[in-house]
């Protein structure tokens, strides 16, 4: 039995349009390893080259940020659900971004 | 191809009310709807955690982001983007916005002049170029 991982809408193009995928593992890092094997393009959007979760992506286990648990060492079981949720921040600036 | 986001006048007015209510501070919220057609069906106001610089920064409370995901799932919809205000500032994204944007999500920015006049624009970060592209706002 795999662990359910909810995928944000813009990233579903990298996992056959699935809203939720099931991945095997006992820790969050195992889940990411499984993602790397099964959905490598999705993995690339979540993690950078050294395997760290990207700065503006957060992973939650049952609604709790893994940074408040044991990060990638956080244990998961079949009844748990992992959510991938972008960090959302910004604000006005005197320096505008160049727009196409 | 031009990208268009569709939203009812009522929901857009609700966003404007939020922007005016929080003026002179930046407000923020979540757009919930159908991702493929880019139609907004619900909005969810969120808490701005940047209490130190609320006049020119926002950071959405993760609890609200999780609630947005939960609500979207309950309604068989998706989180399709976010909104925030630029008090007394143009509705163009800043470099600070771009660095923190998530490709594929829509970002409605509302210029809020003196807490009274509101002027929205919607932006989409291109996956390929990592540049913002303006979206057409189709108000129904």
Distance CA B105, CA B102 (A): 6
Please write the tens of the pLDDT for every residue from B44-69: 999 999 998 888 898 999 999 999 99
In this predicted structure, what is the pLDDT of residue B66? 94
Is B87 an interface residue toward A (CB < 8 Å)?
A: yes
In this predicted structure, what is the pLDDT of residue B99? 86
- How many independent structural domains does chain B possess? 1
Query: Exposed, middle or buried, B134 (CB in 10 Å: 0-12/13-18/19+)?
Result: middle
In this predicted structure, what is the pLDDT of residue B79? 97
Domain that holds residue B8: 4-139
- Max Cα distance, chain A (Å): 51
Is A95 an interface residue toward B (CB < 8 Å)?
A: yes
Query: Exposed, middle or buried, B1 (CB in 10 Å: 0-12/13-18/19+)?
Result: exposed
Q: What is the CATH number of the domain that holds B26?
A: 3.40.140.10
Per the CB < 8 A criterion, the answer to whether B70 and B81 are in contact is no
Structural tokens at position A51: 């395997």
Please write the tens of the pLDDT for every residue from B77-91: 999 999 999 999 999
Determine the average pLDDT of the residues in B115-123: 95
pLDDT at B31 exceeding the cut of 50: yes
Is A44 an interface residue toward B (CB < 8 Å)?
A: no
In this predicted structure, what is the pLDDT of residue A100? 45
Nearest partner of B31 among B100, B91, B106, B121, judged by Cα: B106
Minimal CA separation from B9 to chain A, in Å: 24
What angle (nearest 5°) sits at the alpha carbon of residue B121, between those of residues B16 and A98? 140
Q: Where do the H-state alpha helices sit in chain B? A: 9-22, 62-74, 95-99
* Average pLDDT of every residue of chain B: 94
Determine the average pLDDT of the residues in B97-103: 89
Note if the bond before B47 is cis, omega within 30 degrees. Answer: no
Per the CB < 8 A criterion, the answer to whether B61 and B49 are in contact is yes
Please write the tens of the pLDDT for every residue from A47-87: 999 999 998 999 999 999 999 999 999 999 999 999 999 99
């Amino acid at each position: 039995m795999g662990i359910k991982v909810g995928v944000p809408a813009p990233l579903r193009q990298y996992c056959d349009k699935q809203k939720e995928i099931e991945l095997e593992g006992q820790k969050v890092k195992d889940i990411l390893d499984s993602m790397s094997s099964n959905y490598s393009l999705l993995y690339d959007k979540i993690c950078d080259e050294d395997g760290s979760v990207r700065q503006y992506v957060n992973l939650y286990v049952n609604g709790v940020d893994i940074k408040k648990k044991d990060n990638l060492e956080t244990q998961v079981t079949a009844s748990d659900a992992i959510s991938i949720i972008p960090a959302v921040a910004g604000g006005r600036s005197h320096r505008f971004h160049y727009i196409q | 191809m031009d990208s268009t986001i569709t939203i009812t006048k009522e929901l857009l007015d609700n966003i404007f009310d939020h922007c005016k209510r929080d003026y002179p501070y930046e407000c923020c919220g979540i757009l919930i709807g159908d991702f493929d057609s880019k139609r907004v069906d619900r909005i969810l106001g969120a808490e701005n955690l940047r209490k130190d610089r609320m006049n020119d920064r926002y950071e959405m409370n993760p609890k609200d982001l999780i609630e947005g995901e939960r609500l979207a799932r309950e309604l068989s919809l998706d989180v399709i983007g976010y909104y925030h205000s630029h008090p007394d500032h143009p509705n163009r994204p800043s470099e600070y916005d771009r660095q923190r944007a998530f490709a594929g999500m829509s970002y409605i920015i509302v210029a809020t002049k003196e807490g009274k006049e509101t002027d929205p624009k919607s932006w989409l970060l291109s996956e390929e170029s990592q540049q913002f592209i303006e979206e057409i706002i189709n108000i129904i």
